[in-house]
Structures are given as C-alpha cells and as structure tokens.
Chains A and B, each alone.
Chain A
Amino acid sequence: MSEIMIDTGNYIAAKAAIMAKPDVVAAYPITPQTTLVEGIANYVASGDFKGEYICVESEHSAMSACIGASEAGSRTFTATSSHGLLLMHEMLHWAALARLPIVMCNINRVIGPGWNIWTDENDAISQRDTGWIQFFASSNQEIFDTLIQAFKLAENSDVLLPVMISHNAFILSHTSMPAEIPTQKEIDKFLPSYKPTWKLDVDNPTTQGNIIGIEHYEKIRKAMQDAQLKAKRLIPSIANDWKKQFGRYHGGLIEKYRCDDAEYILIAMGAIGAESKESINNLRKEGLKIGLARLRVLRPFPTEEIIELSKQAELIVIDRNISVGLGGAVFNEIKGALYGESDAKITGFIAGLGGKDVPYGDIEKMCKKAIKGKAKDQIWYGFEEV
C-alpha cells in the first residue's frame, strides 16, 4: 500500500533518493538544499539507507566523488543549489562527456552578490550547455515521481547522460505538501537495480578521460547530442509507464493545461508553472481562450512541441531568469525553435527574479498585457505599468 507523506519538497526528494537505492551519495550542504542532504543523513542513521554517504569538502568534490563512484559502476545521487551548482560546473561537463547517469537535485536559488537565498532559475539556466538533462518540477509529488523516473532515463543505454531535477527554493523546498509514496516493492519494480552499460573494471582494463585524437572528439559531442534527442522520445514514454503503474502523470516534455481550444498559450516553468493554472482558470472565466504549457524539461528542448503550440496560439512566456545581454532564456530558445516554422506572436516577460513573488493575479495581468499589446521581447514585470 502506498502512503501519503506530508512534508517539504526537500524531505520528499530525500525519500525518493533513498527509495531509488543509490550505492553512493556524495553531497555538501548549502541553503536551501541543506534539509535534503540532512534527510538522507537521517536515513543513514535510521539504517534505511544502506549505500555509502560521502561527506565532502565542496560541491566540486561532491560531483567528483559522484563521477568516480559512477565510473566504478555505482548508482549515484547528489543535491546542490545556486553557488554550489556553479562550483560543480567543470565536473558537470565531465559527468556528461563521460556519459555517467548521475542524478542530482538542484534547488533553484539566486546567485550573488547581493547575497540572497530565495528562488530564481539562473543557477540551472547557466548550466544549460553542460549536456545534463534538465527537469523543472512544480510540486512535491512531481519531485518524487520525476526523481525515480530520472534514474530510469539516465541509465537507459540509449541515453547515459546525467539528469538534474530543479525545484524552487522555499516555495517547494521548504513547503509541506502531501505526496503519495509507493511501497519500496513497487519502486523496485519500476526501477530495477543498476546494471552499468560501462564501468572502470580491473578485470577489463580501460581508461576514461585519457588524451584522445582530434578525429575522435567531435564524435563524442555528436553522440551526446544524439543521446539528448533519444531522451526526448524516452521522457514521455517513461512518464507514461509511470502513469500506468502509479496513476500519476505530470506531462511528458511539456504539461498542457486547458490547451485544446486555446488561442493564447502561456509558457512557464517550475512553481510559476503551477501557479499559472489558477490564472488560467480565472482568465477562462472571463471568456479568454487561454491555456498553459508548463515546460517540464528544458534539455532536451521540446522544439517540436513548441512549434505545434505556435501553430494553434499566440505564445506568452514568463522567464524567472535572464541571460544577461540577450533576455529571458526560455523566451529566446522558443524564438530559436520557431525560426522558419511559425510567425506566431510571442511576448516575453521577466518576473520573479531574486525570489520576488509571482502570484496568480500578476500572471493574469501579464497575460492580458501580452494579449492586448504587440509582440515584445522583454517586459520586466514590475518595472513598468502592466
């Protein structure tokens, strides 16, 4: 029998992490991830987590330890946030290039200076090019479900890429919500024990990370890209398998909400994506044919799905991040995806940086402004009259 656990996003992530039965967890605490690794430490103390828990001296070491463990054939998990993720940057590239199915939770937190522990997505956004698959969760239940699915995806021999699951600082990480937790037996059925496709093995000597000739390197990059494209097909199919076994579904690459007859579609990620459902309901009551497409996955980018949406509706994008010097990252990637495919009107907003609250009323105002106005790249919500 499954049970309902009412707890914070971080403790529910810790529960999911140990139910995936990793052989090794290596982590360094950082606000607001701290309670997640504390949760895992509690499971070590209670004997529920039987793997190796390595306390390291930095996030760079945490990822390095995960890389070593994964190369030796272990199922491996870690978690971090903000500056911790940035300190991992070098090793994030390494993990992806070495094709290691490490799974990591990243709690979206602002980057300093000005020191700020609240949420925005710039930490994860700045790791887009590392080769990691990137999920953005919008509820504690989705964190749990995605974390288990992530191991299955990462370890698939067609993928073999690390997976990062981001959730918003405090809004999810420290907020209690109910989540249905399946039994260990049910989880084991969905996610059997790890059988590595490759590993460093003294009985079959190989090396990883040796010097390689020019003629080989490009093949490695291309293989990563091919694996990301394969992941694009696998993510929805794994989500469907989960739905079949557990009855819950948070979308494939995108979660669509009231999109069927929509003439306007709002695109957002994470907690803003969840909050937007309330706004959509209210705007629908006012007679606007509007829907929501919550981006569940940023890498691989759901290009085809976005093109499909643009053929049906005008797009409104809210970015809780900024690629400084260009604009909202998701907005600009959507524009890139539509090139030569669609002339749909798109309006981009930047909102909620530094943990600023983005309540449903504000989202409604942004939608109305976009619908009334001309297409615009970068409206800083709160900096001008909306």
Chain B
Amino acid sequence: MKESKKYDVVSGISYPKEGAMGKTGSWRVFRPTLDIAKCVKCLRCWIFCPEGSIKRNKDDSVEINYDYCKGCGVCANQCPTKAITMSREGKKK
C-alpha cells in the first residue's frame, strides 16, 4: 500500500494504513468459515466485504483475514454456493 503524504497539522486527520485502529477482528461475534471445495472463484465475497478482509490470490482463490474480519456475514450472504458459513465465535464444536 502506497503511504499518503503527511500534513504538518495536528488534527483529526487519519492516514490509511493496515491496522490503523488495531486488530479489529477481535470485535467479531460470528466467524465466517470458507469451504474451498465449494468455492467457484466468483469473487463476490471479495467485492462485497466492507472491510477489505477477503484476500484475493493470483488464481482468484480467496482467503479470509481474521485479523480484521468483524464477522458481519455479508460474504456468507453473497456466496452463491454457500461456501462460506457463519458460526458463533468460541462455541464448543
């Protein structure tokens, strides 16, 4: 990621940076789990994720970045093959 030029003024300006607000994945209540066998690489999850927490690989396969995923479930809702499922964090299997 290219870093933005810093301005010489102390105010509420924030600069885009990975993890600027810490590892927000800790806010998650529901955890998405990806079943790679069902994934058809349509990339809808990658497009719709509001937090940019779906990593797109060169071959268009995807991975979930749990450091920042807040568990909103948008990816699971969009997935046409139900390859992503949501389950409560910390729940005994």
Contact = CB atoms under 8 A, between A and B. Distances in A.
Interface string B1-18: 000110111111111100
Nearest to A94: B12
B10 A220 contact: yes
A210 B13 CA distance: 7
Main secondary structure of the interface of B (DSSP, over half): loop
Contacts of B5: 204
A68 to B, nearest CB: 15
Give the contact-size bracket for chain A: 20 to 34
Interface string B40-52: 0000000000000
B37 interface: no
Given A98-B11, A197-B8, A206-B13, 17 more contacts: A99-B9, A99-B11, A157-B8, A197-B7, A197-B9, A198-B7, A198-B9, A198-B13, A204-B5, A205-B16, A207-B16, A208-B12, A208-B14, A212-B14, A222-B10, A223-B9, A223-B11
Contact of B13 (A208, A211, A213, A222): A208
B10 A223 contact: yes
A287 interface: no
A223 B13 CA distance: 13
A223 B7 CA distance: 14
B7 A97 contact: no
A212 B7 contact: no
Nearest to B20: A210
Interface of B: 4-5, 7-16, 21
Nearest to A213: B21
Interface of A: 97-99, 157, 160, 197-198, 204-213, 219-220, 222-223
B13 A97 contact: no
| Chain A CB within 10 A, most for which of B7, B13, B16 | B13
B52 to A, nearest CB: 13
B69 to A, nearest CB: 18
A134 to B, nearest CB: 20
Contacts of B16: 205-207
Contact of B4 (A99, A157, A206): A206
A317 B14 CA distance: 45
B12 A98 contact: yes
18 contacts: A97-B11, A98-B12, A99-B11, A157-B8, A197-B9, A198-B7, A204-B5, A205-B4, A205-B16, A206-B4, A206-B7, A208-B11, A208-B13, A208-B14, A210-B12, A210-B14, A212-B14, A223-B10
Contacts of A212: 12, 14
